A = this chain, B = another copy of it.
Amino acid sequence: MSFHRHELPNGLEIIAELNPRAYSTALGFFVRAGSRDETEAVSGVSHFLEHMAFKGNDRFTPDDVNRIFDELGAQYNAATSEEMTLYYAAILPEYLPKTFELLANLLTPALRTEDFDTEKQVILEEIGMYDDMPAFAILEKAMESHFAGHPLCQSVLGSVGTVSALTVDQMRAYFKDRYRAGNILLAAAGNIDWQQLVELAEKHCGSWAAGRPDRAIAEAQPQANKLLLQKDLKQQHVVQMAPAPSATDTLRFAADIVSVVVGDDSGSRLYWDLVDPGIVESADLTYSDYEGSGVWSTYLCSNPDTASENLARIAEIYNDVNRSSITFEELEQARNKVASRIVLSGERPMGRLSSLGGNWMYRKEYRTIEDDLADLRAVSLEDVRELLDKYPLGQTTVAGIGPLTEL
């Protein structure tokens, strides 16, 4: 394994972890453009733009894009989050030049008015589809409520209202602002010729506009907030949020451990207390880290009649952890679980790519699997204590969807 970095004159950063023993190559463009970079007026534009990328440009028609990726046998896709839009492909090493050209062209889409109008309907259907999935819908509502007044409150999909009202000119302006070379990272992992990768980047990305737009990253200061949406469902879904360490906080390793011990979807305190005995359908605790802010996120899905007492039981469990921390045995077991996940997900270039890109986007840091395992092993009960003092498990924001009118 070796790590390389290069920067083009226009500011595009290129990083790669070379593994000559790998059978495949994974590469991706990480664009620092997500819903937190949107104003309310253009809410949903990052995600909509990701769809438009696959509509091609003067060089490749939409059919070309799908046909060529398909002929290469590429596993490819794109994804948009609060902080990032990612375009990626995993391929056989010999197809790097063709795949690179195609991926790079996705980032210079034509943004034709006709395609925009057609794709808008697809996006609106997607919003409708997610609205029908209560666990997803309530998570978005909880984010909105928890981060009210802060950029992280913006929904990734946007709403029917904002997407309907969006114009192609607004999208073009957003594109021009965010898709600049200094705001994009090209990362690659696996079996790669580094020199060839740099040359391909010079050829296909060298003329991209320079620049790096700002992003507001002050830590959020959420106020306690409660929101209940009534819907004719059999189960009550509740999401609760509280502040947690940000993506640059070294306490994030301890936060990973605590979320596994307390709220992993199997074998955790919430699991043995509520899920395994069949008291609730689901109960878990997730830790999510963003630039400048972080979130403890609790999800409960249960019979409406017992939702309140289940939330009270979760509060008891959290209070106990905040007060007495976790045991050394729990720390050890969680370390094993997380270590296995790191190793199993990092075995393929595609798995390494997301770790590589994430570490660089958030921390300008290259980390090997061994680095991750070493930091995991180094987490002590003292770190956990410090974490719980600074970011206690909590239920500051409450958002629910289901039959209940009170909670």
> Is B24 within 8 A of A90, CB to CB?
no
A340 in contact with B72 given A66-B266, A267-B66, A267-B67 (CB within 8 Å): yes
> Is B267 within 8 A of A71, CB to CB?
yes
Identify the closest chain B residue to A67 (Cβ): B267
Tell me the number of copies of this protein: 2
* Minimum CB–CB distance for A333 against chain B, Å: 5
**Taking the complex as formed, is A73 at the interface, i.e. its CB lies under 8 A from any CB of chain B?**
yes
Chain B residues contacting A130 (CB-CB under 8 Å) are none
**Taking the complex as formed, is A346 at the interface, i.e. its CB lies under 8 A from any CB of chain B?**
yes
Which residues, 7 to 27 on A, are CB-close (under 8 Å) to B? 21-24
A340 in contact with B266 given A22-B347, A24-B347, A347-B24 (CB within 8 Å): no
Which residues, 335 to 351 on A, are CB-close (under 8 Å) to B? 336-341, 343-344, 346-349
Central interface residue in A74, A333, A339, A340, by most chain B CB within 10 Å: A340
* Minimum CB–CB distance for A310 against chain B, Å: 21
Binary interface encoding of chain A residues 363-394 relative to chain B, with 1 for a CB under 8 A from any of its CBs, else 0: 00000010000000000000000000000000
Chain B residues contacting A75 (CB-CB under 8 Å) are 340, 344
> Is B72 within 8 A of A336, CB to CB?
yes
**Taking the complex as formed, is A92 at the interface, i.e. its CB lies under 8 A from any CB of chain B?**
yes
Number of interface residues of A (CB under 8 A): 34
* Minimum CB–CB distance for A349 against chain B, Å: 8
Binary interface encoding of chain A residues 80-104 relative to chain B, with 1 for a CB under 8 A from any of its CBs, else 0: 0000000000111001000000000
CA of A336 to CA of B98, assembled, Å:
13
Identify the closest chain B residue to A348 (Cβ): B347
CA of A93 to CA of B326, assembled, Å:
27
CA of A71 to CA of B331, assembled, Å:
11
Identify the closest chain B residue to A26 (Cβ): B344
Central interface residue in A70, A266, A348, by most chain B CB within 10 Å: A70
Identify A346's interface contact among B21, B23, B63, B71, CB under 8 A. B23
16 contacts between A and B (CB under 8 A): A21-B21, A22-B347, A23-B344, A23-B346, A23-B369, A24-B344, A63-B276, A66-B267, A71-B267, A73-B336, A73-B337, A73-B344, A74-B340, A75-B344, A347-B347, A347-B348
User: 6 smallest A-B Cβ distances: which pairs?
Assistant: A73-B340, A70-B267, A73-B337, A23-B343, A347-B348, A71-B333
Q: Give 18 new A-B contacts, CB below 8 A, not counting A24-B344, A92-B343.
A: A22-B347, A23-B343, A23-B344, A24-B343, A63-B276, A70-B266, A70-B267, A71-B267, A71-B336, A71-B337, A73-B340, A73-B341, A90-B344, A91-B340, A92-B339, A92-B340, A95-B340, A347-B348
